[in-house]
Amino acid sequence: MTTRTESSRIAIIAAGAWGTALGASLVRGGHKVILYSRRTEVVDEINTRHRNSRYLPGISLPTSLSASGQLEQVVEASDLIVLAVPSRSLRQVCNDLKALPVRKRLDILSTVKGIDKESKCVPSEVIREVLGHLVNRLAVLSGPNFASEVACGLPAGTVIASDDEDFLKHLIDIISTTNILAECSADVKGVQLAGCFKNAIAFLAGVAEGLGLGMNARAFVVEYGFRCMRKVFKRLGLPMTTTVGLAGLGDVVLTATSAQSRNYRAGLMAARSETLKVETLEGIDSVHGLRFLVRDAGCRCPLCLFDLVSKMIEGSLPPTSVMGHLFNGVNNVAAMTKTTLEAE
């Protein structure tokens, strides 16, 4: 953590687990942060009891971290807008921002992970599409970050990507005051896509664990998913370095090996034929988008990981069949390993 004399005024849209955790970290770094939430009970609890028991149970928050249910007030009082909403809510939130009588262009940092179901766009593209000229500068943040650990002040690493070098430096300066080590990237689309890929990989890793297939099978699923990610990046002409960085490999390692991951837990639940909770599905909404993105890019993975995950989420393919298709399909692809090694 680096000490800075200049404090930033930051609004975080959505007081979920990650938005609250990031807000707590930024406040401890000396910044003025206000969380926005539609839930009155969440706003009241943060302001009076300095807790968010709905999303971060058992964790005490800084007393100077505040919350509000008034979106216009929150936006007007801030220099930086952090969007920490679920991917399925992003378009509506952007429309809400657009409808405000905002008298300034917005500097935005998006932490959203997912692909828009309607347009198959990554979050930054949705933001620019909806807000248009209201966007002044835009960046994205993604990495292996469990909200509960960040909220408690434990160290973490992440990636911030932007095509605006000055804005990127400004954000790194802000984050450097916290317990989060931030790396720079110019690969805005790749950093976001990596977060989508890891959701699918973590989900399948949870399925393997839930079916009791052992650690060997889980390792195979993770490596195979990672291989698919690299193939897609290569096909799209995106930097391969992103796949082996914090937003790619780093996030896969974290979320595909721990029950703290909502996507991993969703896979566990699905394997045990349990009903998936809405909040666990928010992260894997992107799987459906990836399914079409991979197809439209003309990328031919030996077996489409995302088809399998999509069918399982939809309930048209049982967990045991998913794993059967995966292992048998890979086994039946002639010279797959040789072809992959030559391609890379």
State the catalytic residues.
198
DSSP summary character for residue 113:
-
What 8-state DSSP symbol labels residue 274? Answer: P
- 9-13/80-83 β-pairing: parallel
Q: What is the DSSP string of 1-56?
A: ----SPPPEEEEE--SHHHHHHHHHHHHTT-EEEEE-S-HHHHHHHHHTSEETTTE
43-52: Cβ within 8 A, 24+ apart: 43/15, 43/67, 43/68, 43/69, 46/15, 46/20, 52/15, 52/17, 52/20
CA–CA gap between residue 30 and residue 10 (Å, rounded): 11
30 vs 165: CA distance, rounded Å: 24
The C-alpha atoms of residue 37 and residue 45 are separated, in whole angstroms, by 11
Neighbour-count burial for 297-331, b at 16+ CB within 10 Å, e otherwise: eebebbbbbbbbbbbbbeeebebeebbebbbeebe
Instruction: Please state, in angstroms and rounded to a whole number, the distance separating the CA atoms of residues 271 and 203.
Output: 10
Residue 241 CA to residue 252 CA, distance in Å, equals 14
